[in-house]
Chain A
Amino acid sequence: MDFFLQLLVGGLSVGFLYGLSAMGFVMIFKSSSILNFAHGELLAIGAYFFLALATWAKLPIPFAFLLALGGCFVLGLLVERIFLRPLIGEPLIFVIMLTVGLAAMFKGLILLIWGGNLYTYPEFLPKILEIRWGLIRIPPVYGAALIIGALFLLLFGLFFKFSSQGIYMRSVADNQRAALSLGVNVKRVFALSWAIAALVAGMSGIVLGIINGVNVHNLSAIGLKVFPVVILGGLDSIGGAIIGGIIIGLLETFTGGYISPSLRDVVPYIVLVLILLIKPYGLFGLKEIERV
């Protein structure tokens, strides 16, 4: 029973992190229908920005956090402006391959600057966030992650529901041409969505970095784990990303615990194929998929 509880808690926390990392991915897909293969590298860039600011520049932690997020925001804007804007209206494969190329570039750049070592952040989270419940101990960082995640989820829910920019984003996602003819500034929507997505990715990267340490290879592997998560949750649903993340996380830890540790990493993809065959729009996605 203890083992079961351990796995349950482990799965929930891992899954929550997957969900958190998937949020930025869903943001980009929602507004511009782009599958971002560079997502893991965006996570890593956020984590390394924070690392540089917090440990090398020795800025105060909250300030470093905000500055790192700001840096990610600007990076997102730049990526959209330089690389993706010329491709508006081009075939899907070019856009996908562009993000693949970007992923290789970012990864190479990070490795060039920081190398492949594992870095850790200084301890800074207060101990109050630690949760103890019988044998189960949840470290403070998960508490912090939970709070940050819930906060961002709420903010984005409100943003998409009520703010004019959020509504523009949804309209562009729904039908680019119709939105354009109704006077929505599609270019600005794309730029903003990449900037926000990079910001969210940076935030998730920092949280992941606090938990697992900062390493490019680990973080870019998580960027690929995002695919089963978002497909399960529905490609365009932010809440679905969190729930999908939790389901995938639980599935992974239980497979790893009860069946075989080596199966752990491939189980999400097996589920992915099954979902695509049975329910391609996921649990909460919009049912607009085209059958051929």
Chain B
Amino acid sequence: MRKIHLQPCGNFRERYDQELTVFSTDFGRLWAGIGLLILFTLIPLLTSPYMMYIFNMIGIAAIAAIGLNILIGFTGQISLGHGAFFGVGAYAGAIFATVLHLPMFLSVPAAGLVTAGVGMIFGIPSGRLKGLYLTIATLAGQFIIEYLLIHWETLTQGTMGITLPPVRLMGLPVTGDTGFFYIIFIALSGAVWIAINLMRTRCGRAFIAIRDNDRAAEGMGIPIFPYKLLSFGISSFYAGFAGALWAFYMGSITAEPFNLGLSIEYIAMVIIGGMGSISGSIFGAVFITLLNESLRFMTEMLMNTGMVTQSGLNVAPLREFVFGLAIVLFILLEPRGLAEVWRITRSSFRLWPFSY
């Protein structure tokens, strides 16, 4: 039997692959297992349909945010087009399902692949540009894709939108929020697993090297442009996958939600969660989704209770204000995001009573 790994009282690592382990102790492994078990057995039993809806929204947002974090947090390329890629995925999934009549378990990954292709096309400028200029190029990509989604009517049916067929998986109909909960969270677990392990491979190390110093990376023999394109591709695959799941979950789609605001929301998730941290993306998705929902709830409540009947309309912009404020405060006060807050909390418990 293998020796059980417990928390050592210092740093006794001798080889690099010990640094690269996902779980440094066996307790981590155990807790991850327990967490997954609770997620898949208890939560669907306990919660109301509205809560399930919020969980599903968080799951979808988390998949897309992990993708964006691979691009921004690990490769250092800022993209303002992630919302559009999400939309491409949603439309691709819808078109595969309605025109080609592919089942869901094929059309969602296929949508991811299509989006990866589109993302790589819009990643081509990264071969010549970096920093600000690349950001602006992806901003242009956002607007161009948005335009195509609305005006390429033979493919996307324009402002009419597309209605998707009801979902069947392995011959069984998937209905309601709970059915989708399993699909979305199994996909999310897979996405997390792949992303974490990707960063331990040659390819992930290359991404991090490019982020830290692209010239040094080039000097060490990493072909920069192919890796940047690959990063764009992987990130867009995640976005497209999440988008297609979203399309199936919603049942019908139009081009409206995939605007610059959505891209900014994803960047906010990555920053608030913590750049360069997979768990951070999930924290960010939880935070932004809950913020959105609670602000919407507050706005509705204020309008219904009649406290502000005549100025009821004026409360809605509060959502935008608070959203902006959250981004600004996180950047100024905790630029490493919620992942860092979590790490500090954990280590202060671990080091108690000598925490600092």
Q: Does B182 contact A (CB under 8 A)?
A: no
B contacts with A: majority SS: helix
Judge if A111 is at the interface, Cβ distance under 8 Å. yes
User: How far does the alpha carbon of A2 sit from the alpha carbon of B146 in the complex, in Å?
Assistant: 33
Given known contacts A111-B320, A273-B137, A276-B125, A35 and B332 CB-to-CB distance under 8 angstroms = no
Which residues from A are CB-within-8-Å of B143?
Answer: 265-266, 269
Q: Does A102 contact B (CB under 8 A)?
A: yes
Could you tell me the distance in whole angstroms from the C-beta of B269 to the nearest C-beta in chain A? 11
B324: Cβ under 8 A from any A Cβ: yes
| Across-interface contacts of B328 in A (CB, < 8 A) | 83, 98, 101-102, 105
Q: How far is the CA of A266 from the CA of B148 in the complex (A)?
A: 10
Q: CA of A291 to CA of B127 in the docked complex: distance in angstroms?
A: 8
Q: CB-CB contacts of A115-144 with B at 8 A, as 1s and 0s?
A: 100000000000000000000000000000
A56 shortest CB reach to chain B, Å? 17
**Contact at A276–B132, with CB atoms within 8 Å?**
no
A231 CB to closest chain B CB (Å) equals: 6
Inside 8 A of A101's CB, which chain B residues have their CB? Answer: 268, 323-328, 331
Do residues A104 and B323 form an inter-chain contact, with CB atoms below 8 A?
A: yes
Known: A33-B132, A280-B129, A292-B214. A90 touches B324 (CB 8 A): no
**Is A262's CB under 8 angstroms from B314's CB?**
no
Q: How many A-B residue pairs have CB under 8 A?
A: 146
Could you tell me the distance between the alpha carbons of A98 and B331 in the complex, rounded to whole angstroms? 7
Closest to B327 in A: A101
Q: State A271–B275 Cα separation when bound (angstroms).
A: 32
**A107 contacts B140, C-beta separation under 8 Å:** no
Chain A residue contacts of B40, Cβ below 8 A: none
Instruction: Confirm or deny: B271 has a beta carbon within 8 angstroms of a beta carbon on chain A.
Output: yes
Cross-chain contact B130 with A276 (CB below 8 angstroms): no
A289 within 8 A of B: yes
**In the complex, residue of chain B having the shortest beta-carbon distance to the beta carbon of A281:** B133
- Report chain A residues within 8 Å CB of B224: 292
Asked if A66 is an interface residue, CB under 8 A from chain B, the answer is no
A94 at the interface (CB under 8 A from B): yes
- Which residues of chain A come closer than 8 Å to B133, judged between CB atoms? 231, 276, 280, 289
Report B203-232 residues with CB < 8 Å from chain A CB: 214-215, 218, 224
Chain B proximity mask over A77-111: 1 for CB below 8 Å, otherwise 0:
00000010011001011101110111111111111
B261-280 residues at the A interface, CB under 8 angstroms: 264, 267-268, 271, 275
- A65 vs chain B, min Cβ distance (A): 27
Closest Cβ–Cβ distance, residue A226 to chain B (whole Å)? 10
* Minimal beta-carbon separation of B275 from chain A (angstroms): 7
Mark contacts of A246-289 with chain B using CB atoms, 8 A cut-off: 1 yes-contact digit, 0 otherwise. 00000000000000001101100110110011001000000001
* B30 at the A interface (CB under 8 A): no
Q: Point out residues on B near A: beta carbons under 8 Å.
A: 72, 78, 124-125, 127-133, 135-137, 139-141, 143-144, 146-147, 150-151, 214-215, 218, 224, 260, 264, 267-268, 271, 275, 313-314, 316-328, 331-332, 335
Can you give 17 contacting A-B residue pairs, CB < 8 Å? A93-B271, A97-B268, A100-B264, A100-B267, A101-B323, A105-B320, A107-B321, A108-B317, A111-B314, A224-B139, A227-B136, A263-B151, A265-B147, A273-B144, A276-B140, A277-B124, A290-B130
Residues of A within 8 A of B (CB): 33, 35, 83, 86-87, 90, 92-94, 96-98, 100-112, 115, 224, 227-228, 231, 235, 262-263, 265-266, 269-270, 272-273, 276-277, 280, 289-292
Beyond A93-B78, A103-B324, A111-B314, list 8 extra A-B contacts (CB 8 Å).
Answer: A92-B132, A98-B327, A100-B264, A108-B320, A111-B317, A228-B140, A292-B127, A292-B224
